[in-house]
Amino acid sequence: MVQTINKDLVNPVGKSVPKIDGKGIVTGQIKYVFDVSLPNMLVGKMLRSPHAHARILSIDTSKAEKLSGVKAIVTAKDTHLIKFGSNEYFFPHTVDQLPLEDEKVRYIGDEIGAVAAVDEETAEEALKLIDIKYEVLPAVFDMEEAMKPGAPAIHEAMNNIAVILPVNFGNVDRAFKESDYIREDIFRTQPAAHCSMEPHVCVGQWETFSNKVTLWSSSQAPFKCREALAKCLKMDLNDVRVIKLAVGGGFGSKLEMMPMDFAACVLSHKSGGLPVKITYTREEEFSFSRRKHPMIYKIKSGIKKDGTIMAITGEVIADGGAYCSYGPTVIAAAIMRIFMVYKIKNFRISGYRVYTNNPISGAIRGFGGVQSGFAIESHIDMLAKGIGMDPMEFRLRNATDPNMVTINKMYLTSNGLKECITKAAAAADWKNKYSKMRNQCRGIGIAVAADVMGSKMYKSHESAGSIVKVEEDGSVYLFTGAADTGQGANTALSQIAAQELGVSYSRIRCKSGDTEITPFDTGSFASRVTFISGNATKRAATDAKKQILNVVAEEYKLNPEDLDIIAERVIHKKDSSVLLNFDKALDLCYSFNYGRQIIGRGSYNPKTTPVDFRTAEGNVSGSYGFEAQIAEVEVDKETGHVRIIKMWDAHDIGKAINPQGVIGQIEGSIAMGIGYSLYEDLKFKNGRVVNANFANYRLPKAIGMPEIETILIETIDPEGPFGAKGMGEASLLPTSAAIANAIEDAVGIRVKELPMTPDKILKALKEKEQTTPQTATESQQ
Amino acid sequence: MIFHVNHKTYEVDLVGHETLLEVLRDKLGLTGTKTSCMESECGACTVMIGGKGILSCITLAANVAGEPITTIEGLADGENLHPVQQAFLDYGAAQCGFCIPGMIMASTALLTQNPHPTREEMEYALDGNICRCTGYLKIFEALREAGDKMSQLKAPRESALYQYIPAVSSTP
C-alpha cells in the first residue's frame, strides 16, 4: 500500500497542485546534468575558430597531446564527416553542419575539435597548444550584403540564400485595387539570447567493451539528440542512450544536438571510456550556442474603409548565421502564423533565410513569431489608425472564427480569439483608456497572437508515447519521453494520468526523457507537450484502467464496460455506487489467482497534414491556441524611458490542467517579452559577440516587473486531453507590439526597430517635434 | 581549514584560491548551490553567512572558514520545509529551479531581517538574482506568505550544534 494517499489530490485536472519535482527544487536535492560527477571524470573543452570565415589548412595537435594531464584530443579526422541539421525531411540541403568542421570555418566559435583533460586549466592550456593554419577568407555579417551578387560564398547556396519560401494565395493585385487604404512599413528585430540559467552541459561515457555510448545532456529533446548523435557517430539508435535529468531552462537553445554532445562521446571513446563532461561558460552560452534570428520584415497591406483586410504582401529576410539549424522552420513560422489570427484571402510574402558569418540563429521560444508578431501587430495598429478605427475593434473585425479552414488549409477547431480580445479589453478598461491618457504621456496598446501545439514541419510523424505502470502497492509510475525543462510537463502529464486512471496525484511518480527507458517523444518545442504527450499519457492511463477493470469484472462476474474508476474507487457507471476501492482492486490484480501486471500504454500522433513548403498549405497542428495581450505604459519624454504599468493577457488554453502552472508560463513569457521589447540585444562587432555576459546583456530583473493580470479562457478543445491545448510560447508573441502600440498611444511615435531603447524613443520624439511642432495631439488636450 | 556548513563541521584542505562555491560543490558535494555566470551577476550561488546573503562564487573560501554557513541543503528542519521553501512550492514560484536555491537564500536573508518587506524592498533585495522562467511575480507572492509565516513562528530554531565530521579529501 502506498504510504500516504493525499485525498485532496484526487481529480487533479484543473487544480494548482504543486510541481511533482517541486520539493527537490526547493531543497536543492534535484539533480541537473550540471551537477553530475562520475568517478575519473574528465573535463572537456571545445576548440573553436578565431576567424569568422577561413579555410583550415592544417591542424597540429602534437604539442597538446604531450601536455601532462591531457587524455584525448579529437578533430574532424576522428569522425565520419557526417553532417547534421534540423529539417532533413523537408529541406535535405539545409543539413549543413559537421559536428567538427574539417575544411572551413564559418563563424567565430565554429567547432574544430575538442580536448579532454584531468582539469579545466589543463584542457584550456592544451587548446592553446593546438596549432592551426588558416587561410582567412572575406566574411560578410550583414544579411542584405550577403544576398548581393559577389558577396563571399559561405556555403554553396546561391547568393547565400539557404531557403526561399514564397507564400502566395489569392489575387493581391486585384485586392489592392479594391482597397481604400494602403500602407507599407519596414520593421527590424535584433539578435537576442535564450539565457537559460543552466548552461549547455553534457557528460558522455563510452562503453568500450560493447561500443555503446551514454550521453547525459541538458536537452529539451533527448530523442532528437539521439537521432543526430547516432547518425553522426554511425551507430544504431539503440547503441546511443541520451538521458536528461532536471533541465535548467532551454527556451529552444537545447533543442538540437550540439557539437559538444558529439565531442563528449568521441572524447570518451578516445580516452578509453572515461566519462567526459563539457560545460559551457556563460560567455560560450552567449557567443556560441544559438541566438534569435534578426529579421527585416517588410509588409504592405490594403484594407477597406470598414476595416476589412483585403491584401497583404511583403518580404522577410532572416540573418541565419553560419548554418541552417532550425532556420527553415523559423522563416516558415514567421510568415504562416498570421493565417491563424486573421481571415486573409489575398496574400503574398516571400521569406529568405540567409547565411552570414555570424553565430548560428536557431530555435527560440516563439519560433519566428516574436519577430513577425512585432512587425504584423504594429502594422495592423497603424492600418487601423489610418482609417480612424479603434485598433481593438479592427482586430475583432478580422479575427478568425472557431471551426474554420484558413486559406492555407489549417483547421481551426476551438478558437477563443474574439473572446480573448473582448475579455482583455474589458479587464484593461480599454474603452476608457485608449487615446485618453496622452496628457499624462500614458498609453495603452493591444496585440493578438495564435500558436500551434506541435508542428508538422519535421518528420513523417511527431508522435508521443507513454507508459502507465501500476505497482502492487498501488503506486503509479508514468514513463514519458517528453522532456520537462522546468515548464512543468512532468506535473501536467502526471495530473492527466491520475485523473484518467481515477487516482490521487500523490500516487504518481514520473520518469521522463531517457531514450533507453521511456517511449519515444519528439521533445519540448512548439508548445506541444500538454496536447500531444498529454493525449498519449491519457491513452496509457485508459489502457491501465481497462486492465484493472477487466480483473475486477472477472472476479465479480460483471461487464467491465459497466465499471469505471473515479476518485480512488471502482464504481458502477449506472448509479455511481461504489464496488470497491482502488487499493482493493489492485490487491485483486496482483493476487495469487490473477497475478496480472498493470502496464498501460498510449501513443498519440496528432491529426495533421504535413506542410507543403511549395504552397505553404497544410494543417500543421492538431489544434491552435489564441490570445490577446494589452500593455499600459508611461513614457518619460525627458529620458526616453518606457515604464510598463500593467499587462493583461487573455489566453485560450482550452482547459488549464494546472492553472498556477499556466499563469506561471504566461508571466514568464511576458517578462521575456518585455526584455526583448525594451533592452535585450546581443551586440556584434565583425561577427564577435561583444556583450557576452549578464552585466552587459541586460535581462528582466526583479526591479520594475509590472503587474500582470491573466484571464484564462477555457474553450475545451475537442481533441485535447480533457480539452487542454498547448501554451507557453504564445504569450511571448504579442508583447513587443502591444508595448510599441501603447507607446504610440502615449506619445504619438512609432518605433519600428527592436529593442525600443530610450535613445530610439528620444530620436523618434525629436523627429516628431520637427515635423509637427504645433499640432501634436497631446498639446491639444 | 574548518568550515561550519549547515550545522556540520568539515575539515577541508585548501590550495588557497578556492572560492566558497568550489568548496561547497566540489569538495563537500553540496551541489544544491548553483552558478550560472561565475562572475557575481546571476545570484544563483547565493548562500547565507550568519543570516546574511553572500555570493559564494566571488567569496574566497579561506576568508569565511569558521563562520556559520547555510546553504539550500541546510534550510529545512528535517523533513519540515523552511517557510520560504514551502511558500515557493505552494505559490508555484519555481519553474526550472536552477536559480531557486540562490533565490530562496536571498529571500530568507531578506525575511530574516525584515519579515514584511514592501514590494519595492523585495525588488531591491532580489534584483541580483536572475530568474529567466517566472517573471518574478510568483516569487514576490511567495515572499509575502513566507514572511507572514516566519513572523508567526514563536520558537527560534535550535542554534548551531556542530557535529564533527572527519576531513574531506581535498586533493587539488
Interval A449-472: pLDDT, tens: 999 999 877 667 889 999 999 999
Q: Which domains does chain A have, with CATH numbers?
A: 7-30+463-604 (3.30.365.10), 34-137+194-288 (3.90.1170.50), 295-457+611-780 (3.30.365.10)
Higher pLDDT, A772 or A190: A190
User: Would you say residue B60 lies in a domain?
Assistant: yes
Burial class, A393, CB count within 10 angstroms (exposed 0-12 / middle 13-18 / buried 19+): middle
Chain A residues whose CB is inside 8 A of the B139 CB are 702
Range of the domain at B115: 2-154
Chain-chain contact of A668 with B135 (C-beta, under 8 angstroms): yes
Which residues, at least 6 apart from B105, have a Cβ–Cβ distance to it below 8 Å? Answer: B46, B47, B48, B53, B70, B71, B72, B75
Chain-chain contact of A693 with B137 (C-beta, under 8 angstroms): no
Q: Which of A27, A484, A663, A703 to mutate to test the interface with B (most CBs of B within 10 A)?
A: A27
Mapped onto helix, strand or coil, the DSSP state of residue A532 is: helix
Mean pLDDT of chain A: 96
A148 vs A158: CA distance, rounded Å:
10
Residue whose C-alpha is closest to residue A366's, from A486, A450, A448: A450
Q: How many domains does chain B have?
A: 1
A646 vs A632: CA distance, rounded Å:
5
Q: Is the omega angle on the peptide bond into residue A191 within 30 degrees of 0, that is, cis?
A: no
**End-to-end Cα, chain A, rounded Å:** 73
Round the CA-based radius of gyration of chain B to a whole number and report it.
16
DSSP code at position A477: E
Chain-chain contact of A485 with B132 (C-beta, under 8 angstroms): no
**Mode of pairing for the β-strands spanning A111-117 and A42-48:** antiparallel
User: Would you say residue B118 lies in a domain?
Assistant: yes
Residue A3: the pLDDT is: 57
Nearest chain A residue (CA) to B124: A703
Chain B residues whose CB is inside 8 A of the A649 CB are none
B145 vs A364: CA distance, rounded Å:
34
Chain-chain contact of B97 with A30 (C-beta, under 8 angstroms): yes
Interval A602-639: pLDDT, tens: 999 998 988 888 888 999 999 999 999 999 999 999 99
Nearest chain B residue (CA) to A286: B37
Q: Is the omega angle on the peptide bond into residue A99 within 30 degrees of 0, that is, cis?
A: no
User: Would you say residue B164 lies in a domain?
Assistant: no
B30: domain CATH number? Answer: 1.10.150.120
User: Would you say residue B70 lies in a domain?
Assistant: yes
Q: How many CB pairs under 8 A join A and B?
A: 173
Q: What is the pLDDT along chain B (172 residues), one digit of tens a residue?
A: 999 999 999 999 999 899 999 999 999 999 999 999 999 999 999 999 999 999 999 999 999 999 999 999 999 998 999 999 999 999 999 999 999 999 999 999 999 999 999 999 999 999 999 999 999 999 999 999 999 999 887 444 443 333 334 444 443 3
Q: Which of B85, B100, B135 sits opposite A705 (nearest CB)?
A: B135
E strand or H helix that includes residue A95? none
Interval A244-302: pLDDT, tens: 999 999 999 999 999 999 999 999 999 999 999 999 999 999 999 999 999 999 999 99
Round the CA-based radius of gyration of chain A to a whole number and report it.
27
**Mode of pairing for the β-strands spanning B52-55 and B68-70:** unpaired
Chain-chain contact of A694 with B137 (C-beta, under 8 angstroms): no
Chain-chain contact of A19 with B124 (C-beta, under 8 angstroms): no
Chain-chain contact of A27 with B89 (C-beta, under 8 angstroms): no
User: Would you say residue B172 lies in a domain?
Assistant: no
Residue A459: the pLDDT is: 67
- Return left, alpha or beta for A305; rule: phi > 0 is left, psi -120 to 50 is alpha, else beta: alpha
Residue B160: the pLDDT is: 37
In this structure, are residues A511 and A542 in contact, taking their beta carbons and an 8 Å threshold? Answer: no
User: Would you say residue B132 lies in a domain?
Assistant: yes
A196 vs A161: CA distance, rounded Å:
30
Residue type, A86: S
Chain B residues whose CB is inside 8 A of the A37 CB are 31
Interval A365-377: pLDDT, tens: 999 999 999 999 9
Question: Residue A708 pairs with which residues in a beta bridge?
Answer: A647
Chain-chain contact of A249 with B123 (C-beta, under 8 angstroms): no
Chain-chain contact of B31 with A35 (C-beta, under 8 angstroms): yes
Nearest chain B residue (CA) to A29: B32
A155 vs A441: CA distance, rounded Å:
50
Residue B136: the pLDDT is: 98
Q: Which residues of A182-202 are buried (b: 16+ CB within 10 A; e: fewer)?
A: eeebebebbbbbbbbbbbbbb
User: Would you say residue B72 lies in a domain?
Assistant: yes
Residue whose C-alpha is closest to residue A626's, from A399, A318, A313, A309: A399
Q: Which of A26, A679, A710, A735 to mutate to test the interface with B (most CBs of B within 10 A)?
A: A26
Chain A residues whose CB is inside 8 A of the B32 CB are 27-29
Interval B119-166: pLDDT, tens: 999 999 999 999 999 999 999 999 999 999 998 874 444 433 333 344
Cell 495592423 -> residue: A380
Confidence of residue A213 (pLDDT cuts 50, 70, 90): very high
In this structure, are residues A219 and A513 in contact, taking their beta carbons and an 8 Å threshold? Answer: yes
Which residues, at least 6 apart from B116, have a Cβ–Cβ distance to it below 8 Å? Answer: B147, B148, B151
The pTM for the full model equals 0.95
DSSP code at position A419: H
A515 vs A581: CA distance, rounded Å:
35
Q: Which residues of A577-608 are buried (b: 16+ CB within 10 A; e: fewer)?
A: eebebbeebbbbbbeeeeeeebebbbebbbeb
Kindly write down the DSSP assignment for every residue of A280-308, as one continuous string: --HHHHHHHS-BPPPEEEEEEEEE-TT--
Chain-chain contact of A248 with B97 (C-beta, under 8 angstroms): yes
Residue A772: the pLDDT is: 67
B4 vs B68: CA distance, rounded Å:
5
User: Would you say residue B169 lies in a domain?
Assistant: no
E strand or H helix that includes residue A131? strand A131-136
Chain A residues whose CB is inside 8 A of the B135 CB are 667-672, 700, 705, 708
Residue A12: the pLDDT is: 97
Residue A443: CB atoms within 10 A of its CB come to 27
Q: If you average pLDDT over residues A87-94, what whole number do you get?
A: 87
Chain-chain contact of A671 with B81 (C-beta, under 8 angstroms): no
Interval A536-584: pLDDT, tens: 999 999 999 999 999 999 999 999 999 999 999 999 999 999 999 999 9
ipTM field: 0.95
